[in-house]
Chain A
Amino acid sequence: MSAHPTNFQGSVVDALREAIEREIPGAQASVSGGGGHFSIEVVSAAFAGKGMLESQRLVYSAIAHLMKGDAPPVHAVDSLKTRTPPAS
């Protein structure tokens, strides 16, 4: 894991999870990682009927503010999984 400097204050993991859960209706996100690299898994009914590209776009647009700029807190999303909740 390489170091990517950022002046972001606070927990990036929490910021990612909160942003995703705020922007995507009913989403549950689990985020792990550090040093600029993160793995994200999101479960939401919002992905139903959407392809991988559209689903990932939803997530990326929710966290776009954390990936922009010269020294963003999120340098790379190493793994991004999107799933719909299991039918109950």
Chain B
Amino acid sequence: MRDSGGAFARLGALPAAVLSLATIMLSDALRSQLSTLVTDHPVVLFMKGTRRAPQCGFSAQVVQILDALLPSYETVDVLSSPELRDGIKEYSDWPTIPQLFVNAKFVGGCDIVRAMKESGELAQLLAAPSVPLAAAALPTIRVTNAALAAFQAALSDAEGEVLHLKIDGRFQNDLYFAPREANTLGVEADGLTLFLDPPSARRANGMRIDFVDGPSAGFKIDNPNQPPTVKQLSPSELKALLDQGAIELFDVRPAHERAQASIAVARSLDEAGQKYLFSLDRNAPIAFLCHHGMRSQAAAEQVLSEGFRNVYNVQGGIHAWSESVDPSVPRY
């Protein structure tokens, strides 16, 4: 679950005339959007700014309180749209932001959240099994034979303990043995039972757990729910992909740097290059190159936010390319 005002991105794109019409009515569309939002997510905070960058002291206080109690929750930035900002006030009949909803019910603003935190009511409300997970939403998790064997060996030593899997909001995984924790769900996975709390279970569907032996032995986890990230590519991996014609390479450096050292097949990110980039399928593998790999990382992350899903950064940039792939490329 990302913290975002993303659910309302569509509204932001509407022409102003349509929006001003919408305000007059707390349009049915907005009302039903709000209602879907608070129903789909057990905990939703309407706030100014984002979870990581609150834009108002009251919103920041509530974020801080929730952060201490929950690994993840949905936040909606009301500053992203005036219609949303007014609409939520009308929806909840509450004149101020932030506003907290739990299980589709309006809980209150900053004052109330703070008081409920101090009385312990908030922890109760958030921990109660009332943050529901529909039975149908039990995740499917695959465990390879190698992983199963590794778990079973460990389980035989862990008396009275069960295997827990936690997946936090940034999709960091934590596998550990402990006596069964409260409010966890048992999920059968290829002969193994894993225990997950509801937020982890929501993030787990379709994941695959493998065990890799060898010098860097460890569990290898693939999670299709994880939002795409910029993947790193070494110069030699890039070479292999370029040779197969399996990747598009973009050089983010300005012309004077490209003139000093460049890779022939790389496209520059000038106007024509950008036009070409955005004409590509959003699943097309694309890589970014710069001098040492910093500017290209930034470019890659930006492109990721434009919806591209297979985005690579060339580690070490053209300097590393010259060192490990093609020494005829000058270093500067």
Hey, which bits of chain A sit against chain B, CB under 8 A?
Answer: 52-53, 56-57, 60-61, 64, 67-68, 76-77, 79-80
Contacts and interface: CB of A to CB of B under 8 A. Distances in A.
Contacts of B94: 57, 60
Interface stretch (B105-113, B159-167, B224-232, B273-281): B105-113
A76 B112 contact: no
B293 to A, nearest CB: 42
Contacts of A56: 108-109, 111-112
A22 B256 CA distance: 73
Interface in B69-114: 93-96, 106-109, 111-112
Nearest to A82: B111
Contacts of A80: 111
B212 interface: no
Nearest to A74: B95
A53 to B, nearest CB: 5
B112 A64 contact: no
Given A52-B108, A53-B107, A57-B94, 9 more contacts: A52-B111, A52-B112, A53-B108, A57-B93, A61-B93, A64-B95, A67-B95, A68-B95, A76-B96
Main SS at interface, chain B: mixed
Contacts of B112: 52-53, 56
Contacts of B177: none
A80 B94 CA distance: 13
A79 B115 CA distance: 12
Contacts of A77: 96
A78 to B, nearest CB: 8
A78 B96 CA distance: 10
A58 to B, nearest CB: 11
Contacts of A53: 106-108, 112
How big is chain B's contact interface, by range? 10 to 19
5 contacts: A53-B112, A57-B93, A57-B94, A60-B94, A60-B96
B58 interface: yes
A79 B95 contact: no
A18 to B, nearest CB: 18
B19 to A, nearest CB: 15
A76 B58 contact: yes
Contacts of B109: 56
A52 B115 contact: yes
The 3 A-B residue pairs whose C-beta atoms are closest, nearest first, are A67-B95, A53-B108, A60-B95
Nearest to B105: A53
Contact of B111 (A61, A67, A79): A79
A15 B106 CA distance: 28
Contacts of A52: 108, 111-112, 115
Nearest to B115: A52
A46 to B, nearest CB: 17
A80 to B, nearest CB: 6
Nearest to B95: A67
A79 B110 CA distance: 9
A88 B216 CA distance: 74
Contacts of B95: 60, 64, 67-68
A73 to B, nearest CB: 13
A1 to B, nearest CB: 12
A61 B93 CA distance: 9
Nearest to B119: A52
